[in-house]
Amino acid sequence: MSNIVLELKNAAIYQRESLILSEVDVTIHKGDFVYLIGKTGTGKSSFMKTLYGDLPLTEGEGSIVDYNLRTLKEKDIPFLRRKLGVVFQDFKLLNDRNIRENLNFVLKATGWKEKQSMERRIDEVLDKVGMKTKGFKFPYQLSGGEQQRIAIARALLNDPELILADEPTGNLDPQTSVEVMEVLQEISKNGNTFLMATHDYALLLKYPSKTLKCDGERVFEVVQKSL
């Protein structure tokens, strides 16, 4: 079993007919924590969307958690997404149900049946993000930082092989960003693999790690000193 979780070779990323990124060569190994940086409009979101099957890969080679992105069929996408955890900037929690029900909804949708093991899994992920006591609150009763912790817990439910975090601190103030980042670092230490899109350079300097940059229709690795 290879420990490569994501590999793109000479891939081109399109949004409809527009070429967004070309000649993309990226490899991420199990356990890596990788940043994806770049100004707004340089293709970070399109890159992420291609990885979770929202945009098709039509040029080059690409594999993610053992799925071939070139031959990915519509019916495969839910299965691919079970092996990925996705954390968005705007949390995407369901406001009409409490936190435990939010997490339960995802488990049901991804095929869990056994009530006790579902309850146990919810406890585990809430514990990992330090939110065990907040399970009966509704999303609107939580601060932005707490909602993002819940979104991270949700991403962990199915023990994903890769977590895609798209600007996870984008809506948070600096102090809360650091707190959320601490949670991500802690989870990363447990062996989880992360690709995190961000424009928050302060976090990169505080928590240095491998960094990819989108610029001029290319993605390339940068040395942190040259940011």
- The DSSP result for 144-193, as a single string, is HHHHHHHHHHHHHTT--SEEEEESTTTTS-HHHHHHHHHHHHHHHHTT--
Residue 195 has which token pair? 């690709």
* Contacts of 75 by beta carbon, 8 Å cutoff, 6+ apart: none
Which amino acid does the sequence have at 79?
F
Residue 110: per-residue pLDDT: 87
CATH topology of domain 1-83+160-169+180-227: Rossmann fold (3.40.50)
**Which tens digits make up the pLDDT trace of 58-83?**
999 999 999 999 999 999 998 898 89
Q: What is the CA radius of gyration of the chain?
A: 17
| Intervals of CATH 3.40.50.300 along the chain | 1-83+160-169+180-227
Cα separation, 211 vs 120, in Å, equals 35
Cα separation, 123 vs 82, in Å, equals 19
**Which tens digits make up the pLDDT trace of 147-197?**
999 999 999 999 999 999 999 999 899 999 999 999 999 999 989 999 999
**Average pLDDT, rounded, for the chain:** 93
Question: What is the side-by-side strand order in the sheet with 67-68?
Answer: 18-29, 4-15, 59-64, 67-68
Residue 123 has which token pair? 């406890």
Task: Specify the 3-state DSSP secondary structure of 26.
Answer: strand
Residue 225: per-residue pLDDT: 63
**Which tens digits make up the pLDDT trace of 5-60?**
999 999 999 988 899 999 999 999 999 999 999 988 889 989 999 999 999 999 99
129, 79 contact by CB (below 8 A)? no
Within the chain, strands assigned E span 4-15, 18-29, 33-37, 59-64, 67-68, 84-87, 162-166, 194-197, 210-215, 218-222
Categorize the per-residue pLDDT at 227 as very low, low, confident or very high, splitting at 50, 70 and 90: low
Closest CA to 56 of 20, 92, 109, 5: 20
37, 223 contact by CB (below 8 A)? no
